[in-house]
Structure 1
Amino acid sequence: MGAFDAVMYGIEGDPLLRTGIVAFIALDGSPDPAQVSARVERLTRIFPRLRERAVGNPISPAPPRWEIDPNFDPSYHVRWRRLPDDDATMQDALDYAARVSESDFDHSRPLWEIAIVTGLVDGRAAVVFKIHHSVADGMGGLAMSAALFDLAAEPGDLGPLPDAPDPEEPSDLLARFVHATRFELDAVEEVVVGGAKFALRTARDLLTSPLDTTVAAGRTALSAAAMLAPQGAPKSRWMADRSLTCTFTLIEVPLAELKAAAHRAEVTLNVVFMAAVADAVGTYHRRHGHDLPELRVNMPVNQRRPGDEPTSNHWAPARFLVPAGDEHPAPDRLTRLQRLLEEARTDPALGLSDMLYKALALLPDPITERLAGGLMKGVDVAATNVPGPPVPVYLCGAKVDVLVPFAPKSGAAINVALLTYDDAAFVGINSDPAAVEDPAEFTACLAEAFAALTAEPGLRGVRAH
């Protein structure tokens, strides 16, 4: 298990830091059960990680390793559910998905599950795909789930079924000891050698450009210290409580409007998204008589390279302060927000994140959990966005109407995740009702913020599902 994956796995000794990612897929009809079984079988052969369990080592602080589950049964991971009320609504399905997200995995099995929810109004259905963050990040999970989709209601020839991976021999104590020792030696070597290379490179650059190098090295050191420094209490004292409960709500934003707003302001789509989140948090506080000048945001920075496998994590956490939305925002706020996000994205400490997380992975789980918890629980809002399919797709004979991720709260009051699909941007809001007393009101604030930022004559408006 990679260092970052191991940290995602190890911090869950604190249930508030659970890291399950949920993809919610609304369909215009019920998918064909035979096709679902066949497609899931193919999916687990294309991505063998979905057949692997995490096996720990009781005699070493080294992280678990992935082993093929000798008892793997795909039917265990696929559950068909019908909600108790006839003609259940989309929100009923979202409520069910939220309950799924709150539960832990059976760690003796592969860390994923799929629930197909039928009986929704107008014969619709929903698919809830939950995966542990140690298996994949959001981009990787989306790449894996793409193997479930087709470009037409009737799928074409998918080609021969890949061979199923053979289970390994049950690992004995010696094999686990060898694995643990190898990881520890490799991790120590990388931390030591990486640190030495950084020091040598800095010394060399000092000879050729002493002033610039001193400034850059100082900034890197400060950034690395800030990356690992406990964040303290959230900036919002009103939204400071945390619980294990999740509430899922959903907004649909016309993608053309979102792109047009970014184009008009000469900023990225991500900046408009982050501005809407900040505006919503500020508005929600003002309506309840609370002042919030700024909020602390955790946003993943994608570090995937061409050829990286969908499994595993390839991102680094960027934490930064964002001004809460003002009732009368300055005209240049999007430009200023773009500069702030660019500084966070190019933070020099992000280049050291792999080495830093390898050092964290060497520590016993309780220490890693405490350190990571100090970083994550001081966050007000987590936010992420990923690109989805640019055209309509189908799942086992049913058209996908909604495709949206719900990222884990992991210590934050709210996690807001945006995914672009076809001609829409779907925004999944995972809020903690212990922190957000009225999730529906906050969702309305976010819809209003998007509408204000993207309003353009002739285009259809933002809507909450």
Structure 2
Amino acid sequence: MTSKAPAAKDERMGAFDAVMYDVEGDPLLRSGIVAFVVLDGPPDRAQVAARVERLTRVFPRLRQRAVGNQFSPAPPRWETDPNFDPSYHVRWRRLLDDEADMQAALDYAARVSESDFDHARPLWEIAILTGLVDGQAAVIFKIHHSVADGMGGLAMSAALFDLSAQPDDLGPMPDAPADAAPADLLERVIHATRFEFGAVEEVVVGSTRLALRAMRAVATRPVSTALSAGRTAVSAAAMLAPQGPPRSEWMTGRSLTSHFTIVQVPLAALKAAAHRADVTLNVVFMAAVADAVGAYHRRHGHDLESIRVNMPIDQRRPGDAPTGNHWVPARFLVPTDDSTPTDRLYRLQGLLHLARTDPALGLSEMVYKALALLPAPLTERLAGGLMKGVDVAATNVPGSPVPVYMCGAQVTTLVPFAPKSGAAINVALLTYGGSAFIGVNADPAAVDDPAELTACLAEAFADLTAEEA
């Protein structure tokens, strides 16, 4: 006999989650994360239904909707959806063209990414496309950034995969979380007020602790503290300042439309290039992105000295829940001149080190907690000013080193497509098996020819991974 499942606990969004939710008052800042999965055949429908049901029981956040008041200082709260229906979130589709090619599936995925969620329901969905060339199928996972970041979303989706074509025996189905009793208006007001006072106290106390720590440091190490404080002040000012227009004077258009393309690079070659230059794989990745954007501009007669890049710095610690966001944003300028591959790698190594060790990153959490306390329209305006003006957003997520299967079908391709969030392009890399899959989410209003830009990116990776590089 199984014990009764505990009631799902309503809770407030974290600071980063709330900001990602509130900025969507501006549709250009929508933050749906998409994973595009290609299978060697259609997955078993009954198994898909059972796995999705299990997924929502293991991670109750997938049964919760976001409820809030855009003019309240309290962030939205997660509340169990009383009308939760997993079949609403999983849609099966067959593309109209017989044996549709992969670009047709990517175009469908791009349309899925552009649409907003139904905010009366949990903020995720799955589309399964059948009828692709050679009997393949594609699965499109979409989740709102306020539910999880890329690493968290990948961790949750792992519950859908097996290590062999024969689905694993996962044991009895976990109990479904019991519905939380809806709070009455007075209870909600009291809870929101307590949360607001607690959050304000946390920001004030945190600021006071920083000030006291700085005073002690000045008393014991006046010179080094002054230099450090100066660097922190400059970094903080840069972090909080609106970014201004994009660095590219050509890729300035912004729209709600997305165009998805893929670049696949042998992982061994990518690692070898990083090893030869004594840099990280992420440095090789960013060097290829910078080289591709620069080459794309030069081919069309446009000068471009540098691009402004927005890159998440992972802050996830062992034991952190997959739900929620565990990262801080880093913005920095990357040169795009016509350098040799080796020179570009060495320059990027220093730039990314500075970005990851920027002293202002330690203030990000407090800044976002303060932003989360503001009414949604003001949060959108201030946070949007930090996100806009970016040319390229880039992210790098490690995936499974071994092949996996989904409900009887093998995963042959696994590609992330991160939201543009105000940028002209978002380039996301995920390692899976023996490949690095790079998903390019380009805004056609900024990028006239996404296919050509993708070709430039493939050429940049080829140059960087060539033995003589």
Aligned residue in 2 for 1:128 = 140
Aligned residue in 2 for 1:415 = 426
The residue matched to 2:254 in structure 1 has which SS? coil
- Structure 1 position 439 matched with structure 2 position 450: yes
- Residues 279 and 324 of structure 1 are in contact (CA less than 8 Å); yes or no, is this contact kept in structure 2? yes
The residue matched to 2:261 in structure 1 has which SS? strand
Extract unaligned runs of 5+ from structure 1: 458-465
Instruction: Return the match for 1:19 from 22, 25, 31.
Output: 31
Aligned residue in 2 for 1:401 = 412
Output the amino acid matched with 1:50: L
Extract unaligned runs of 5+ from structure 2: 1-12
Aligned residue in 2 for 1:347 = 358
Output the amino acid matched with 1:426: F
Partners of 1:30 and 1:186 in 2: CA distance: 50
- Residues 57 and 180 of structure 1 are in contact (CA less than 8 Å); yes or no, is this contact kept in structure 2? no
- Structure 1 position 35 matched with structure 2 position 29: no
- Residues 341 and 463 of structure 2 are in contact (CA less than 8 Å); yes or no, is this contact kept in structure 1? no
Superposed displacement of residue 329, structure 1: 2.4
Partners of 2:372 and 2:70 in 1: CA distance: 15
Partners of 1:366 and 1:58 in 2: CA distance: 7
Which runs of structure 2 are paired with 1:7-86 in the superposition (5 Å)? 7-57=19-69, 60-86=72-98
Output the amino acid matched with 1:416: V
Partners of 1:205 and 1:273 in 2: CA distance: 38
Deviations 1:281-303 (A, max 9, x none): 00000000000000000000000
- Residues 57 and 177 of structure 1 are in contact (CA less than 8 Å); yes or no, is this contact kept in structure 2? no
Partners of 2:357 and 2:277 in 1: CA distance: 21
More displaced 10-residue stretch of structure 1: 157-166 or 39-48:
157-166
Aligned residue in 2 for 1:462 = none
Aligned residue in 2 for 1:452 = 463
The residue matched to 1:332 in structure 2 has which SS? helix
- Structure 1 position 191 matched with structure 2 position 203: yes
- Structure 1 position 149 matched with structure 2 position 161: yes
- Structure 1 position 223 matched with structure 2 position 249: no
Partners of 1:359 and 1:230 in 2: CA distance: 17
Partners of 1:196 and 1:220 in 2: CA distance: 16
Partners of 2:466 and 2:299 in 1: CA distance: 22
Partners of 1:432 and 1:332 in 2: CA distance: 29
Deviations 1:396-446 (A, max 9, x none): 000000001100000000000000000000000000000000000000000
Superposed displacement of residue 221, structure 1: 2.1
Partners of 2:257 and 2:226 in 1: CA distance: 47
Superposed displacement of residue 162, structure 1: 1.3
Q: Which runs of 4+ in 1 moved over 6 A?
A: none
Aligned residue in 2 for 1:317 = 329
Partners of 2:168 and 2:35 in 1: CA distance: 25
Aligned residue in 2 for 1:91 = 103
Deviations 1:260-309 (A, max 9, x none): 00000000000000000000000000000000000000000000111100
- Residues 57 and 176 of structure 1 are in contact (CA less than 8 Å); yes or no, is this contact kept in structure 2? no
Partners of 1:286 and 1:412 in 2: CA distance: 20
- Residues 71 and 376 of structure 2 are in contact (CA less than 8 Å); yes or no, is this contact kept in structure 1? no
Partners of 1:454 and 1:60 in 2: CA distance: 52
Identity of aligned residues (%): 78
Aligned residue in 2 for 1:358 = 369
- Residues 234 and 378 of structure 1 are in contact (CA less than 8 Å); yes or no, is this contact kept in structure 2? yes
More displaced 10-residue stretch of structure 1: 68-77 or 214-223:
214-223
- Residues 71 and 377 of structure 2 are in contact (CA less than 8 Å); yes or no, is this contact kept in structure 1? no
Superposed displacement of residue 79, structure 1: 0.2
Aligned residue in 2 for 1:166 = 178
Partners of 2:397 and 2:86 in 1: CA distance: 28
Deviations 1:155-185 (A, max 9, x none): 2211221111111112321222122212211
Aligned residue in 1 for 2:121 = 109
- TM-score under structure 1 normalisation? 0.97
- Structure 1 position 182 matched with structure 2 position 197: no
Output the amino acid matched with 1:123: G
- Structure 1 position 241 matched with structure 2 position 253: yes
More displaced 10-residue stretch of structure 1: 367-376 or 233-242:
367-376
Partners of 1:177 and 1:364 in 2: CA distance: 16
Deviations 1:351-384 (A, max 9, x none): 1111110100111111111111111110000000
- Residues 71 and 375 of structure 2 are in contact (CA less than 8 Å); yes or no, is this contact kept in structure 1? no
Superposed displacement of residue 58, structure 1: 6.2
Partners of 2:70 and 2:318 in 1: CA distance: 36
Aligned residue in 1 for 2:9 = none
Output the amino acid matched with 2:400: P
Counting matched residue pairs gives 456
Output the amino acid matched with 1:447: A
- Residues 281 and 325 of structure 1 are in contact (CA less than 8 Å); yes or no, is this contact kept in structure 2? no
- Structure 1 position 253 matched with structure 2 position 227: no
- Structure 1 position 389 matched with structure 2 position 410: no
The residue matched to 1:157 in structure 2 has which SS? coil
Instruction: Return the match for 1:430 from 441, 445, 448.
Output: 441
Output the amino acid matched with 1:410: S
Output the amino acid matched with 1:254: P
Output the amino acid matched with 1:47: F
